[in-house]
Structure formats: structure tokens, C-alpha cells
């Protein structure tokens, strides 16, 4: 027990002493996070607090390796896994620090996270089975490696995304590390307990300066380091436990960042934006919009995390069936919080998903029509065949009319017009049409003609009309009149026999 207390206190003191030094150094170097449109703070705040968190935790863990007691001996027994954990989390810290200093592309950070997750799996830290003693045992096999990698990357980015408010990520991560430390002690896993206590102490010391009003932010150097080490540690508790609690408790304690990330990805998907694009729809942003102060939001998040963690500990003293019910209850509570604050709307999500499915189906049909029209144009060798292909394309892409304006050899205007056949469908008004005017080169004259297309665009299908217009334009670009063979001249008479309207335009 003395080793555990020593580790926590040492990391707390180190982080408390180094954070002010990091603040002064960052200010002198200009390493500050300036106010911006998507930022909450109004002052320039140092953004490299992860240095203090990282050094506080690491400098408290390393002395335990040399201790001549049972804890030190257990550390040395699993030295390969410890080395991989510390090296990979250090690599994430360095990547995050470089991002704080110079900025990195998101794909680069994801690549490093993926490599770190793979190395951890190769070291033997992975979920191979989920045991619910009273119900079943789920063997994951090789699929467990994929689950582990996705979990590590997901939690790493979840902690990163929730780091948008003074003290929020540090406080939740501190509670999470304390809970995992207690769970590790219950499992008899001294190594994991030391790592989590060192992290918890470091975060406690850092919070003195990071809680509102913050004097320093942890930055990506801190959030990536925290997310990775918490993710790997939660996998270690699940892998070492034969009870459901080892798998479920880490999920519960990290419930807010997990659900916040899930709903952020879902929200961006529904809005058809990049899943990594920034927005102001996170858990803390919504609560701030509802009038809460920053420290109130942070305290509320702490309270929710502590509440569900306390309920989660009940799983330690219950049988597997009851543990599963407790786990589901905790998830339901977190989900209820997100629903009540308006972070997501399940009804809207279902409606938009159905709408997206309809759009996807329409896109497939439009692409199919485009490919069929392309084949028809490929077989066209004369002007008459080309015009027939153009009309077929207009019909398959649901155009209302097409007007082709050309000139005869004598310089007289010629107009070829196609109208969609009337059906029982209600006619489309002029205000519901999108008009396109596409230039087309006339090989016979060496000049330019034009094609004018009318596409119906009801309120529900404006985007579809735009796509169909783009596909029609692409057809003309790929299969214009200049692509016809020289046989065009010999068939000019047939073209002249078609219906013409001299000196008139279909669309003025």
C-alpha cells in the first residue's frame, strides 16, 4: 500500500510543481491557444499542459521499476508489456506535442494511433473473450484484435474531442484512472494500479491550474497521451478479468466521452460533413448554450461520471446476470442525460437516415441511367443516332425538354427540340424547373452551338436535379458533336429533314 500512496503523491507533487514552469515557458515561446470562432475562451492560454501531465506520471512510474518489493517484482515480470505501453503512450505524447507546436494532419495522428494499437496487441494486450458466467462466454478469437484496435483508437479520440472546456477532460480522465486503479487492485493487478494512480495523481496536480478559469490547457499532447493510456489500461482490465465488471466498468466510467464522440460522428454523418470536422454540438457546448457556466458544466460531468462509476462498482459484488442489468442501467442513465440536454434527437436521426437511404438509392439509379446513356452515345456514328441518344439520355435522367441550337452550312439557325411525353403525373410548373445552357462545338461549322435542358426540381429533389444536370453535362462533354465520325457530312441531309424552327429559341 505504501508503494501505491508513494506513486500517487509523487505524481501529484511533480505535476503541481512543473505546471507553473510549463506555463511560464509556453508564454515566453508564444505557445498559446488564441481565441477563435469555435473556441470558448477569450484570452490567449498556454496549450502545452500535456508536458506536465506526461512528466508527472512517467517520473512517478519509473522509480517503481527499481523497487525491491512485490510491486516492483510484478513490474519486472511483465516488463515487455509495460515497456510497450509506456513507449507507445510516449509516442502519442510526442505526436500530440508536435501537433500543438506545428500542427499535424488528422490522418497522421490516426496512423500513429493505429500503429500504437497494433504494437500493444502484438505485446499480448488484447480482448480475447467476454465472460458472463451465468449466461455465456463469447470467444472473440482473431476478431478480438480488431475490436481492441478500434477501442484504443476510439477512446483516444474520444478524450481528445471532449477536451474543449476548462478542466473537463482532465477531471473525467482523473475519475476514470481512479476507478480503473481500484478495479486493478480488486483484480490483484499491481502494475496497472500503479500506472493508473500515477496518472490520477498527475491529473490532480494539473487540475489546480486547468480548472476554470484555466491558466493552461493540456493540448493534444495531453489528450492523446491520456486517451491512449486509458484505452490500453481498460483493455488490460478486461483481458485480466473473468467477470463482466472488468469489461463493462471502463465503458461506464468513460461513458460521457464515448457517447459524446458517437453522437458527434452521427451528427456529422447526418449533416453530411466530415466526421472529423469541427462543430459546436458537443456535450459541453450544448450545456453552455443552455446558460450553464463552464465550472458548472465540468462539475455536472464529474457528478455524472462519479454516479455511474459508483453504480458500476455494484457489479463487483453481484452475479453476472445482475451485473449485466446494472451495466445496462448505467448506459441508460448516460443516454438519458444526452437526450435531455438535447445533444441528439433519435426521431430526427431516424428520419435523416431514411432520407439518406432514399438519396443513396436515387444516386445509384442516376448513375445506372448515366452508364446506359454513355453506351448509347458510344454506338452513335451519325448525327441522327447522336440526337436519338441525346433524347434517350434526357428521358432516363428525367429531363423535361431538350433544345439543340445549331447553324446550317448557309449560316441559318436550326433548332432541334425534344419534349418529354405527357403522363398522368401532375405537370411541372416553370418555377419548379432548373435550366441548363451547355455550349457544344459544331464540327461542320467549327463554331459553337448550345444545348438547353430543363430538369424538374421539386422541393424534395433539388439536390437530385443538380446531380442529374451534372451527369447530363458530363455526357455532352464526353460525347459532343465533335466526337462523331467524318460520316457526319454524308448524313447531313437526313439531319436537315428533321423538324426545325427557324430563328426561334425554345428558351429565350
Q: Which residue has the higher pLDDT, 50 or 249?
A: 50
Show which of 221, 243, 265 is a domain's final residue. Answer: 243
pLDDT band at 480 (very low <50, low <70, confident <90, very high): confident
pLDDT confidence of residue 136 = 63
Mean pLDDT of the chain: 82
pLDDT band at 498 (very low <50, low <70, confident <90, very high): very low
Residue 94, preceding peptide bond in cis (omega within 30° of 0) = no
Digit-coded pLDDT (tens) for 135-163: 667 777 788 889 899 999 999 999 988 88
pLDDT confidence of residue 486 = 47
Residue 293 scores a pLDDT above 70: yes
Read off the pLDDT of each residue in 328-353 and give the average, rounded to a whole number.
80
pLDDT confidence of residue 197 = 94
CB 169 within 8 A of CB 210: no
Share of the chain above pLDDT 70, in %: 85
Domain check: are 232 and 370 in the same one? no
Share of the chain above pLDDT 90, in %: 28
Any bridge partners for residue 48, and if so which? Answer: none
Residue 172 scores a pLDDT above 90: yes
Closest CA to 313 of 169, 133, 128, 178: 178
Question: What one-character-per-residue DSSP string does 25-47 give?
Answer: HHHHHT-EE---TT---SS-EE-
d(CA 334, CA 308): 8
pLDDT band at 304 (very low <50, low <70, confident <90, very high): very high
Range ranked top by mean pLDDT from 67-71, 138-142, 371-375: 371-375
d(CA 331, CA 322): 14
d(CA 43, CA 81): 42
- Does residue 322 lie within any of the structural domains? no
pLDDT confidence of residue 58 = 93
Digit-coded pLDDT (tens) for 305-323: 999 988 888 877 776 677 7
d(CA 104, CA 110): 10
Phi, psi of 420 (to 5 degrees): -65, 140
- Does residue 446 lie within any of the structural domains? yes
- Does residue 431 lie within any of the structural domains? yes
| Other C-beta atoms lying within 10 Å of the C-beta of residue 271 | 12
Domain check: are 228 and 371 in the same one? no
pLDDT band at 271 (very low <50, low <70, confident <90, very high): confident
d(CA 120, CA 114): 10
First vs last Cα of the chain: how many Å apart?
89
pLDDT confidence of residue 446 = 56
pLDDT confidence of residue 129 = 72
Domain check: are 64 and 199 in the same one? yes
The domain tally of the chain equals 2
Residue whose entry in the numeric block shows the C-alpha cell 477536451: 163
- Give, in order, the Cα–Cα distances in Å from 272 to each of 267, 276, 499: 8, 12, 46
pLDDT confidence of residue 314 = 81
Residue 94 scores a pLDDT above 90: yes
pLDDT confidence of residue 322 = 78
- Does residue 277 lie within any of the structural domains? no
- Does residue 272 lie within any of the structural domains? no
pLDDT band at 134 (very low <50, low <70, confident <90, very high): low
Read off the pLDDT of each residue in 230-247 and give the average, rounded to a whole number.
77
Show which of 190, 217, 243 is a domain's final residue. Answer: 243
Q: Which residue has the higher pLDDT, 282 or 211?
A: 211
Residue 219 scores a pLDDT above 50: yes
* All three cell numbers of 439: 455550349
Domain check: are 160 and 38 in the same one? yes
Residue 494 scores a pLDDT above 80: no
Read off the pLDDT of each residue in 485-505 and give the average, rounded to a whole number.
44
Residue 460 scores a pLDDT above 80: no
Domain of residue 363, residue span? 353-496
Show which of 243, 274, 296 is a domain's final residue. Answer: 243
pLDDT confidence of residue 187 = 83
- Does residue 25 lie within any of the structural domains? yes
Digit-coded pLDDT (tens) for 409-438: 676 788 889 988 765 555 666 667 888 898
| Other C-beta atoms lying within 10 Å of the C-beta of residue 251 | 19
pLDDT confidence of residue 385 = 87
Domain check: are 357 and 475 in the same one? yes
pLDDT band at 502 (very low <50, low <70, confident <90, very high): very low
Whole-model pTM: value is: 0.76
Q: Look up the CATH number of the domain holding residue 411.
A: 3.30.450.40
pLDDT band at 442 (very low <50, low <70, confident <90, very high): low
- Does residue 325 lie within any of the structural domains? no
pLDDT confidence of residue 127 = 79
Half-sphere exposure (Cβ direction) of 58: Cα atoms closer than 13 Å: 20
pLDDT confidence of residue 488 = 45
Domain check: are 235 and 378 in the same one? no
Burial per residue of 408-421, b for 16 or more beta-carbon CB atoms within 10 angstroms, e otherwise: eeeeeebbbbbebe
Read off the pLDDT of each residue in 196-213 and give the average, rounded to a whole number.
93
- Does residue 369 lie within any of the structural domains? yes
Residue 23 scores a pLDDT above 70: yes
Amino acid at each position: 500500500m505504501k508503494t501505491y500512496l508513494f506513486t500517487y503523491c509523487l505524481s501529484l507533487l511533480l505535476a503541481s510543481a512543473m505546471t507553473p514552469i510549463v506555463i511560464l515557458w509556453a508564454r515566453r515561446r508564444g505557445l498559446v491557444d488564441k481565441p477563435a470562432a469555435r473556441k470558448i475562451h477569450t484570452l490567449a492560454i498556454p496549450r502545452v499542459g500535456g508536458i506536465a501531465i506526461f512528466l508527472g506520471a512517467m517520473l512517478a512510474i519509473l522509480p517503481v521499476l527499481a523497487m525491491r518489493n512485490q510491486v516492483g517484482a510484478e513490474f519486472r515480470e511483465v516488463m515487455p508489456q509495460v515497456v510497450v505501453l509506456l513507449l507507445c503512450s510516449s509516442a502519442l505524447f510526442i505526436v500530440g506535442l508536435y501537433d500543438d507546436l506545428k500542427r499535424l494532419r488528422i490522418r497522421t495522428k490516426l496512423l500513429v494511433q493505429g500503429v500504437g494499437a497494433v504494437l500493444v496487441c502484438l505485446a499480448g494486450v488484447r480482448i480475447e473473450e467476454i465472460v458472463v458466467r451465468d449466461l455465456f462466454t463469447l470467444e472473440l478469437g482473431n476478431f478480438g484484435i480488431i475490436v481492441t484496435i478500434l477501442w484504443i483508437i476510439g477512446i483516444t479520440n474520444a478524450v481528445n474531442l471532449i477536451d474543449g472546456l476548462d478542466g473537463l477532460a482532465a477531471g473525467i480522465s482523473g475519475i476514470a484512472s481512479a476507478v480503473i486503479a481500484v478495479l486493478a487492485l480488486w483484480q490483484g493487478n499491481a502494475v496497472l494500479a500503479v500506472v493508473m494512480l500515477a496518472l490520477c495523481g498527475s491529473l490532480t496536480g494539473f487540475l489546480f491550474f486547468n480548472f476554470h478559469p484555466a491558466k493552461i490547457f493540456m493540448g493534444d499532447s495531453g489528450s492523446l497521451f491520456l486517451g491512449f493510456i486509458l484505452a490500453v489500461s481498460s483493455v488490460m482490465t478486461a483481458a485480466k478479468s473473468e467477470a463482466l465488471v472488468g469489461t463493462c466498468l471502463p465503458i461506464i466510467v468513460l461513458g460521457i466521452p464515448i457517447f459524446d464522440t458517437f453522437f458527434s460522428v452521427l451528427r456529422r454523418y447526418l449533416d453530411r460533413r466530415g466526421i472529423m470536422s469541427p462543430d459546436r454540438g458537443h456535450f459541453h457546448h450544448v450545456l453552455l448554450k443552455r446558460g450553464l457556466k463552464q465550472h458548472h458544466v465540468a462539475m455536472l460531468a464529474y457528478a455524472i461520471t462519479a454516479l455511474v462509476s459508483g453504480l458500476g462498482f455494484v457489479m463487483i459484488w453481484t452475479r453476472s446476470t445482475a451485473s449485466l442489468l446494472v451495466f445496462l442501467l448505467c448506459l441508460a442513465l448516460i443516454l438519458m442525460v444526452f437526450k435531455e440536454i438535447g445533444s441528439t434527437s433519435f426521431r430526427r436521426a431516424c428520419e435523416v437516415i431514411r432520407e439518406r437511404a432514399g438519396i443513396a438509392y436515387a444516386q445509384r439509379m442516376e448513375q445506372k441511367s448515366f452508364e446506359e446513356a454513355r453506351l448509347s452515345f458510344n454506338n452513335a456514328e451519325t448525327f441522327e443516332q447522336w440526337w436519338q441518344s441525346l433524347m434517350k439520355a434526357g428521358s432516363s435522367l428525367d429531363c423535361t425538354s431538350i433544345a439543340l441550337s445549331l447553324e446550317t452550312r448557309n449560316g441559318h439557325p436550326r433548332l432541334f427540340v425534344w419534349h418529354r411525353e405527357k403522363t398522368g403525373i401532375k405537370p411541372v410548373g416553370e418555377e419548379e424547373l432548373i435550366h441548363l445552357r451547355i455550349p457544344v462545338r459544331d464540327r461542320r461549322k467549327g463554331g459553337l452551338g448550345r444545348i438547353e435542358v430543363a430538369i424538374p426540381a421539386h422541393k424534395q429533389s433539388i439536390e437530385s436535379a443538380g446531380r442529374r444536370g451534372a451527369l447530363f453535362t458530363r455526357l455532352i462533354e464526353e460525347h459532343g458533336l465533335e466526337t462523331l465520325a467524318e460520316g457526319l457530312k454524308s448524313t447531313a441531309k437526313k439531319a436537315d429533314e428533321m423538324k426545325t424552327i427557324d430563328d426561334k429559341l425554345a428558351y429565350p
